[in-house]
């Protein structure tokens, strides 16, 4: 059975039409019979076409991208995507890196990328812990900024004084959602106490 090549192309913004056309041409040249494409920023939280491509691929298929940064936002993101592909029995090819996970060298390169990412993350967390310990020792550590929940008493007290939701949100610097969550939780507690 011949592997089906599925392409994925992405450019940051809609004005990068030429960049998208180059990717589409390269993916077709590589033998992709179906190509998913989208034009949105790499920091966009959702990439619907990428999700469709990941859902579409089947065991034995090969997912093809022109460059690593077209597929993943970070090495951690790449590892998550490749793990999803691995579980489905799908290989990954990155044309610019000549990386193909169906080969031992391709698998090794991908594992190295993952190990480096994990190592970097551990170093970052260690530096963060050291920084916090140093700040605590110097009496400069403030901890996390208080969340809206810590202002619940104040919210309810201002509400009782007759302030509007908008005034309370503005005064305490909390979001609309936080305000209504606090009020709803207080109502639920009140109802529970009342029904006893």
Q: List per-block mean pLDDT (blocks of 10 residues) for the chain, which spans 196 residues.
A: 87 75 95 93 78 95 91 80 92 90 87 76 84 84 67 88 88 85 82 62
Is residue 107 one of the residues assigned to a domain?
Answer: yes
β pairing state of 5-11 and 99-100: unpaired
pLDDT in tens, 112-144: 877 776 777 788 888 888 888 888 888 887 766
Residue showing tokens 């979001």: 175
**What's 170's domain CATH number?**
1.10.10
Reported pTM: 0.58
Is the domain of 177 the same as that of 81?
Answer: no
CA neighbours closer than 13 Å in the CB half-sphere of residue 7: 23
Residues in the chain: 196
Q: Are residues 161 and 109 part of one domain?
A: no
Contacts for 119-127 with beta carbons within 8 Å, 24 or more apart?
A: 120/75, 121/76
At 51 the pLDDT is 94
Q: Is 12 a catalytic residue?
A: yes
Looking at the chain, which runs of residues are DSSP E strands?
Answer: 5-11, 34-39, 62-65, 91-94, 99-100
Q: Is residue 95 included in any domain, yes or no? A: yes
Residue 68 placed within a domain: yes
DSSP single-letter state for residue 43: T
Residues 23 and 89 in one domain: yes
Distance CA 191, CA 196 (A): 9
Does 123 fall in a domain?
no
Statement to judge: residues 110 and 156 lie in one domain: no
pLDDT the model gives residue 27: 97
Q: Residue 184: its pLDDT value, please? A: 87
d(CA 72, CA 11): 12
Helix axes 48-56, 75-88, angle to 10 degrees: 30
Tokens of residue 169, six digits:
């949100």
What is residue 146's predicted lDDT score, i.e. its pLDDT?
A: 59
Residue 104 structural domain: 5-114
Contact present, 175 and 148 (Cβ < 8 Å): yes
Per-residue pLDDT, 102: 87
The neighbouring-strand residues paired with 92 are 63
| C-beta atoms surrounding 182 within 10 Å | 22
Q: Is 66 within a domain?
A: yes
Are 21 and 84 part of one and the same domain? Answer: yes
* Of 12, 42, 178, 195, catalytic: 12
């Amino acid at each position: 059975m011949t592997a089906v090549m599925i392409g994925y192309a992405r450019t940051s913004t809609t004005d990068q039409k030429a960049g998208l056309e180059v990717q589409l041409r390269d993916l077709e040249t590589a033998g992709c019979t179906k190509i998913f494409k989208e034009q949105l920023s790499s920091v966009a939280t959702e990439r619907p076409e990428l999700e469709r491509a990941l859902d579409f691929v089947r065991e034995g298929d090969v997912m093809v991208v022109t460059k690593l940064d077209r597929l993943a936002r970070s090495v951690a993101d790449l590892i998550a995507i490749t793990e999803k592909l691995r579980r489905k029995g799908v290989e990954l090819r990155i044309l610019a890196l000549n990386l193909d996970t169906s080969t031992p060298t391709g698998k090794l390169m991908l594992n190295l990328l993952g190990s480096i990412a994990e190592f970097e993350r551990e170093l970052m967390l260690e530096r963060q812990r050291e920084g916090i310990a140093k700040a605590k020792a110097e009496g400069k550590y403030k901890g996390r900024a208080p969340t809206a929940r810590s202002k619940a008493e104040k919210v309810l007290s201002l509400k009782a004084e007759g302030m509007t939701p908008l005034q309370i949100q503005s005064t305490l610097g909390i979001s609309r959602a936080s305000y209504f969550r606090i009020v709803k939780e207080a109502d639920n507690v009140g109802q529970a106490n009342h029904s006893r």
